[in-house]
Amino acid sequence: MSDVTLIVLCAGNSSRFEHKTKKQWIRIGNEPLWLNVTKRLFSFSQFDKIIVASHEDELNYMKNFTDDFTFVKGGETRQKSILNCLKFVTTKFVMISDVARACIPQSVIKNLLDEKENADCIVPVLNVTDTVIYETNTINRDSVKLIQTPQLSLTQTLKKALDTQIEFTDESSAIKAINGTIKYIQGSNESKKLTLGNELDELPCLKEPSNNFFTGTGFDIHAFEDNKEMFLGGVKLPYEFGFKAHSDGDVLIHSIIDALLGACGAGDIGEFFPDTDEKYKGIDSKLLLEHIVRFIYNVGYEIVNIDTTIIAQKPKINPFKHEIKNSLAALLNMEKQFINVKATTAEKMGFIGRAEGVAVQSIATLKYYNWKQK
Ligand SMILES: Nc1ccn([C@@H]2O[C@H](COP(=O)(O)OP(=O)(O)OP(=O)(O)O)[C@@H](O)[C@H]2O)c(=O)n1
Ligand SMILES: C[C@](O)(CO)[C@H](O)COP(=O)(O)O
């Protein structure tokens, strides 16, 4: 039984990464980086528990990938994410690493564990080989160290050190601020932190994403309703009825959202925008689609193509197809050639044939965002 809990911090916004996909979600083969890194660290040592700090927008999606880890909602800062995770730590020691340090060698993990009883916090550091200036003054580079992760701390000491309003950028700084003891050990250039998009080539352990394709289907149906405007694909149609719905009822957009979520295994529209939630009452469905498109790219996908079939006895769709296609291309941030809009009647059969409402069937194809080729 291990007396060490591993926390892997994956809840950042990746704002400096300059790619469409967040760094923790780039694929290594078929694995998102956060899963690849966490499994890699898990393979180096048995931990009592593995906790993954997840961005709140991705927490439920992350849980789809494995039951082996405890997923905790991250905070607004790295330190707040650590505090959220520490609530679930019951072991004497806690090892905390940035998912951004994707290629940490096993030797660093072993050395941290070997030293765990020798200080409140064990920290891997690198020496500096360049000349160093502080503001404009040259300083002794032998006195400068670059701090890395993972860092191994006494859990109670770390909790005490982080019980402060001061935001630290790492655990050792916080522990030092309460006069805790720090043991610095040799770090590794392989533990480089992935921050900027152009640093990907500096992490040799990262293999390119697989070239698999992923498809998903979406189906939605809405009855007509008096005294409501009709929207399809974000376009207002001059029809006497709108759609009965909690939102603006854009049945075409809803079916496309479900097709996109289906293709990446992220559930369905109701899980993202519950129709019991007042904040979505009457909402413009274009805003929902824009949120889902951001999600799809954030978690590592690109949209290949969309095909959709509107099943409606009324209104006539053909006069608006071109405008609908342009609207969808703008909302999906795609070229029109990869979006197809079909329409058919129900030959006057059933509730659609009686012009009581409209149904839409959509299919979406995704592929992994290829960060190697960007
Ligand atoms: N609120 C936060 C902020 C950061 N992190 C994690 O802390 C590590 C180091 O942070 P950094 O490399 O700065 O990641 P981001 O905060 O995502 O990057 P940026 O500052 O560019 O947005 C990353 O693995 C990141 O996911 C976290 O779990 N919770
Ligand atoms: C914790 C850390 O990796 C130590 O070097 C670094 O402080 C994280 O900084 P970031 O800006 O949160 O990436």
The rounded Å distance from CA 80 to ligand 1 centre is 11
Check whether the bond before 204 is cis (ω within 30° of 0): no
Residues 6+ apart with CB under 8 A from 319: none
Binding residues for a divalent metal cation: 220, 222, 254
pLDDT of residue 371: 94
Dist. CA 327 → ligand 1 center (Å): 35
Instruction: Give the amino acid at 127.
Output: N
Separation CA 269–CA 257 (nearest Å): 6
Which two tokens mark 296? 């799809």
Nearest ligand to residue 171 Cα = 2
- Which residues, in sequence order, are bridge partners of residue 358? 222
| Pair 34, 25: CB distance under 8 Å | yes
Q: Which residue ranges make up the annotated binding site?
A: 220-222, 246-247, 254, 268-270, 273-277, 344-347, 351, 354
69 and 38 in contact (C-beta within 8 Å)?
yes
User: Looking at residue 1, what is its pLDDT?
Assistant: 85
Measured in Å, residue 344 CA sits from the centre of ligand 2 at 56
Q: 8 CA distance to ligand 2 centroid (A)?
A: 13
Owner of token pair 């505090």: 83
The token pair at 126 is 């690198």
**Comparing C-alpha atoms, which of 214, 249, 193 is closest to residue 9?**
193
User: Residue 190's closest CA among 106, 249, 272, 282?
Assistant: 106
**Is 123 in contact with 175 (CB distance < 8 Å)?**
no
Alpha-carbon distance of 88 to 145, in angstroms, equals 31
> pLDDT per position in the chain (374 positions), as tens?
899 999 999 999 999 998 999 999 999 999 999 999 999 999 999 999 999 999 999 999 999 999 999 999 999 999 999 999 999 999 999 999 999 999 999 999 999 999 999 999 999 999 999 999 999 999 999 999 999 999 999 999 999 999 999 999 999 999 999 999 999 999 999 999 999 999 999 998 999 999 999 999 999 999 999 999 999 999 999 999 999 999 999 999 999 999 999 999 999 999 999 989 999 999 999 999 999 999 999 999 999 999 999 999 999 999 999 999 999 999 999 999 999 999 999 999 999 999 999 999 999 999 999 999 87
Length of the chain: 374
Atom of ligand 1 nearest to the CA of 82: 28
Exposure string for 255-268, b = 16+ CB within 10 A, e = fewer: bbbbbbbbbbebee
Rounded to whole angstroms, the maximal C-alpha distance in the chain is 85
Atom of ligand 2 nearest to the CA of 193: 3
CA–centroid distance, 69 to ligand 2, in Å, is 23
Neighbours of 236 (CB within 10 A): 15
Nearest residue (by CA) to ligand 2, atom 8, is 169
Helix (H) or strand (E) holding 85: helix 78-86
pLDDT of 373 reads 87
The atom number, within ligand 2, closest to the CA of 78 reads: 12
Residue 223 CB burial class (10 angstroms; 0-12, 13-18, ≥19): middle
CB of 156 within 6 A of ligand 2: the answer is no
pLDDT of residue 321: 97
The residue whose CA has the least distance to atom 16 of ligand 1 is 12
Label each residue of 163-215 as H, E or C: CCCCCCCCHHHHHHHCCCCEEEEECCHHHCCCCCHHHHHHCCCCCCECCCEEE
Cα–Cα distance between 333 and 328 in angstroms, integer?
8
- Report whether residue 99 contacts ligand 1, using a CB cutoff of 6 Å: yes
Burial category of 38 from C-beta neighbours within 10 Å (exposed 0-12, middle 13-18, buried 19 and up): buried
- Supply the pLDDT for residue 281: 93
CA nearest 38: which of 69, 60, 84? 69
Cα 330 from Cα 267, distance rounded (Å) = 24
